[in-house]
Amino acid sequence: MLTRLGKHLTDDAPVHPQALLDAVAADVPLARALEDFLTASKLALPPDREERRAAARRQSRIDAVPAPLRPAVIGFAEHLVAGRDRARRTGTHPRGHATLEARLTALRDFTEFLTTRRGKTDWAVVDVGDIEAFLHAHPRRRSFYLTGLRQFCRYALRRRLMLINPTAGVQAPQTMAFRGPTLPVDRQRELFRRWSTDPHVHPHEAFVGLAALLHGATTQDLQHLADDDIDHDQHRIRLGRRPHPTPLDPWTWTALQRCLQHRRNLGSSNSHVLITMQTKATRTAASDSYVKHTLRAVGIQPRILRSTRLVDLVGTVDAKLVAAAYGMRNEAVIAYLSDHVDTARLPNP
């Protein structure tokens, strides 16, 4: 790394720390090590990689839009980003990157449908029939697509790119009930035995699996879990925005200790529990995708384990207590209770 850094410095690269970080961005291992050193020494500010990745994802969706319809989509994307920046400056709730990408995804798919199925390459000739035909072709994503199309049509109408708002009278009724996948009890037992008794399972897989299955931990909770969040005396950890520390059962605590031992074996000074070969020499957390792929060996994702746990808890415990314990909104928890009726509470016929 020192050799590669020296080459950058001798090739007339900028020597100011902040500019040097931008110059070596293509060399990912060097950029991470240099960023860790310069930021720890207070010589530079960490580059916002998340913003850059989000901008690249948005651009990939824009590039997939057919050329005749692309200028309007570019303007809409700039409008979304400007609204996000304005909300951040004013202290309100800005839209997340995933929301912006969802809007552009809806437009990307709709423009492909317009050009290939409807033969239209001008926003001014789009009508209600085009919207209905597109939503009819994707019934399961009707609400998802309609939300993005409504926002774009309002924007296009103000910019006089459209003569009417074709989404004004279109509806997408849906229930707020949770419809995601969950695991049956037999599969839960099988996974629990694997993660609690098999010593050959990777420590990260066992800890992520047990924390999600038994304690409903999210990917972000586990991604940013660090030494300061662990109470070794009480066997508790602090997860994300939960108001109280979460007590761990013996099996999850053992898996956590295996993760800490794995970190010591790598000789890392990174304070995060889950570290990789790329982050062991830095202070940064593992990527979100790494945490999601820790369970690749069993073919599931942590969110499915969390949903399974929440569905079980909400069906057997007061939903408000679950919301208070997990730091969730009441509305978010009620979604897991929808369409569930406890027959013991029904009046006798």
| Pairing verdict, β 246-247 and 230-231 | unpaired
Q: Domain spans of the chain? A: 2-47, 50-158, 185-337
Instruction: Give the pLDDT score at 341.
Output: 46
Q: 333: closest CA among 99, 222, 219, 177?
A: 177
| Average pLDDT score over the chain | 87
- pLDDT, tens digit, for every residue of 145-158? 999 999 999 999 99
- pLDDT, tens digit, for every residue of 176-226? 667 778 899 999 999 999 999 999 999 999 999 999 999 999 999 999 999
Q: Is the pLDDT of residue 174 over 70?
A: no
Would you give the distance in Å from CA 63 to the centre of its chain? 23
Instruction: Give the pLDDT score at 212.
Output: 95
DSSP state letters, 139-167: GGGHHHHHHHHHHHHHHHHHTTS-SS-TT
Report if pTM > 0.75.
Answer: no
CA angle 182, 213, 288 (to 5 degrees): 90
Q: 249: closest CA among 220, 210, 218?
A: 210
Integer Cα distance of 51 and 200 in angstroms: 38
- Topology of domain 185-337 in CATH is hpI Integrase; Chain A (1.10.443)
323: enclosing H helix or E strand: helix 319-326
Choose from 70-74, 82-86, 93-97 the range with maximum mean pLDDT: 70-74
